[in-house]
Chain A
């Protein structure tokens, strides 16, 4: 755990307390059972906005607290631990796109609404099943955006989309020319393909050529923070289980084969935490962001993949049942691993950034 400031510690404790009491995994079960396409509890999201969590990266002048990504990551990590379904990550990343590329007018119009929770926003970048920002066909002509976006996170709850077109990023409001096709993924959260047919679009003119890449890097580190919370939760739950379950008249935790496997996973988790925290810090400092974000998400992918699999294996048969939570983490884990760069994509990117 990074060394935290007093404010950060308070924020983290507040998020931990809220997630544990108000949003345990049983709340996610309720969301799933309700079967609404937006797949989150609007009251819960309103409460999160009320506590200032959507505005953490947004400047005070626009209704936020300007605490930065490291602080946002602390909250997202705590929410990841309990699989809290909300558009917090999606909206925060969309806000970062507006912060980096938006005009003063765009910032003044949208950021306060995002911070207050009134407007939910999300990125619509990829056009196929993989992260591939180099393969964008969506185009804009005369302020009208046309193209197809695939597997957009939190699409149902969002009323504002940050859309990648060939020549840059655009803001598109839900409305005429925007139609959704629900795509149900293993995590039971909101995903949709979106058809934009001449939808009114307003360009984010700032941020330079690297805007899309910069926004994706922010998406990577914040997703990695959610994954860190998930990995920590699966690890802790599994460790507790091993300390209780008795077989061969012995508590499982006393078997050295299992002790050493947990030691390996603990080492992996330690590495993941370092990489994720450094990625968040890099965004705040603005130094070496591309590299740090790539490392953060690559390590998050590697470690959550391993821990989510071992979580099932070490729980044994009950880990396979819907009654136990560990399977939910596995099903959310793979969706996040595929988001904003799979392991192979990120390794390729790391090699390119390193010049080989």
Chain B
């Protein structure tokens, strides 16, 4: 028999579920059913149509796109249980969360932890309403895996900093309104000389050049800063605290690259089902090529246990509070499996799975080819697989530094 407390929780959850259903019935337009959130990915500018805009404003206005964030900053102020109800009820009617992007996934949680009151009041509410696009100013030409080697420099000019330098691999830089960046404020100490700052992308001296990738797309940019003025109030935390804050943000990034719904979405259709369209099957419906069949089963079993691991990480981090220590494992395993899947898809489709352009290829075939190429970046960005291995070995397993 449930206790009084349990039954009270049950009653309030039922009431909240009803509230969410009513909200969806009133606000979610049928024509958006099953479409995606344009701000959730790395791709594309925000060309909203009025229907999408209205849906974003409805969700953002209640803070339900960031349900567990505090209400005073525009979040939902809800419990994790209520957030799960929102997620569940939205999914049931095919409604997407219109609030997303790097502000939600990485920057917001970090600012809530390290920002001062004024910064939170200024920057969090527009993220909750989906009004502002953030980009990440981290990597530089000589600071990739060795990120702390960054050289972009901020000189203290009294009431502001003057920034000079170059960032690269700025995801979505060409569409971003603002940039959270780590920059050097002191050359005498590699890690303690780094500070975390917020930069307006339309400030004078900011120049963005998209980089064309092997996949033919340009989701990343080079970003140049020439005498860019950044007001002092845009320093997050203290001078020299940037490496600590920046690393915290990367934990959120890793969890999102691997643990969120994105990879799961990419892996939507069963490889076995695809293979049955392209390859010979026997009378029992099984693939005739048993070697290929074995490869597919092997990958799908590992993929399933990856999804289970992602779910476990979420449950553990909810139970313990904070990001699960297996976020490095998720990033490393999820990106590798996604690459393996793309390669196997090519083997399944043969030359038909290597099309670059042309009407003879289906949209799904062409998209998968570009995805295969672009997917090579996944084991490099967000901390390469080799960096994840270092993190696992040293931080999780306590193996000593090799340097």
Contact = CB atoms under 8 A, between A and B. Distances in A.
A294 B398 CA distance: 33
B309 A270 contact: yes
A21 to B, nearest CB: 25
Interface string A345-356: 011101110111
B332 interface: yes
Interface string B290-321: 00011011101110111011011001100100
A262 interface: yes
Contacts of A344: 294
B329 interface: yes
B278 to A, nearest CB: 12
16 contacts: A253-B400, A254-B402, A260-B389, A267-B329, A267-B392, A271-B333, A299-B301, A299-B302, A346-B301, A350-B300, A350-B301, A351-B286, A354-B272, A356-B275, A356-B276, A356-B287
Interface in B358-398: 386, 388-390, 392-394, 396-398
Contact of A2 (B275, B315, B398): B315
Interface in A227-283: 239, 242-243, 251, 253-256, 258-260, 262-264, 266-267, 270-275, 277-278
B188 interface: no
Contacts of B283: none
Contacts of A272: 305
Nearest to A3: B319
A277 B312 CA distance: 10
Contacts of B392: 262-263, 266-267
Interface in A40-74: none
Given A3-B319, A253-B400, A270-B309, A275 B329 contact: no
Nearest to A272: B305
Nearest to A239: B397
Contact of B304 (A264, A266, A275): A275
Contact of A271 (B272, B275, B309, B389): B309
Contact of B316 (A1, A271, A275): A1
Contacts of B394: 259
A299 B307 CA distance: 13
Contacts of B272: 351, 354-356
A298 B393 CA distance: 26
B329 A256 contact: no
A200 interface: no
A171 interface: no
- Give the interface centre of B286, B386, B389, B396 by most chain A CB atoms within 10 Å: B389
A242 B399 contact: yes
A260 B397 CA distance: 11
Nearest to B308: A274
B393 A295 contact: no
A243 B398 contact: yes
Interface of B: 270, 272-273, 275-276, 281, 285-287, 293-294, 296-298, 300-302, 304-306, 308-309, 311-312, 315-316, 319, 326, 329, 332-333, 386, 388-390, 392-394, 396-402
B382 to A, nearest CB: 16
B25 to A, nearest CB: 29
Interface size class of A (residues with CB under 8 A): 35 or more
Nearest to A260: B389
Contacts of B393: 256, 259-260, 262-263
Contacts of B308: 274-275, 277-278, 295
A155 B60 CA distance: 65
Contacts of B402: 254-256, 259
B390 A259 contact: yes
Given A3-B319, A275-B308, A351-B297, A266 B396 contact: yes
A299 B306 CA distance: 11
A2 B277 CA distance: 38
Contact of B306 (A239, A271, A351): A271
A270 B305 CA distance: 9
A277 B390 CA distance: 27
Contacts of A258: 399
Contacts of A347: 294, 297-298, 301
Contacts of B275: 356
A254 B390 CA distance: 11
Given A347-B301, A356-B285, A266 B397 contact: yes
A60 B388 CA distance: 47
A270 B326 contact: yes
A262 B399 contact: yes
Given A259-B399, A260-B386, A302-B302, 12 more contacts: A242-B399, A253-B400, A254-B402, A259-B393, A259-B394, A264-B389, A273-B312, A274-B311, A295-B305, A299-B302, A351-B293, A355-B272
A271 B298 CA distance: 14
Interface in A316-356: 344, 346-348, 350-352, 354-356
A296 to B, nearest CB: 8
Give the 9 A-B residue pairs with the shortest CB-CB distance, closest first.
A356-B272, A259-B393, A274-B308, A275-B305, A263-B389, A263-B392, A274-B309, A347-B297, A253-B399
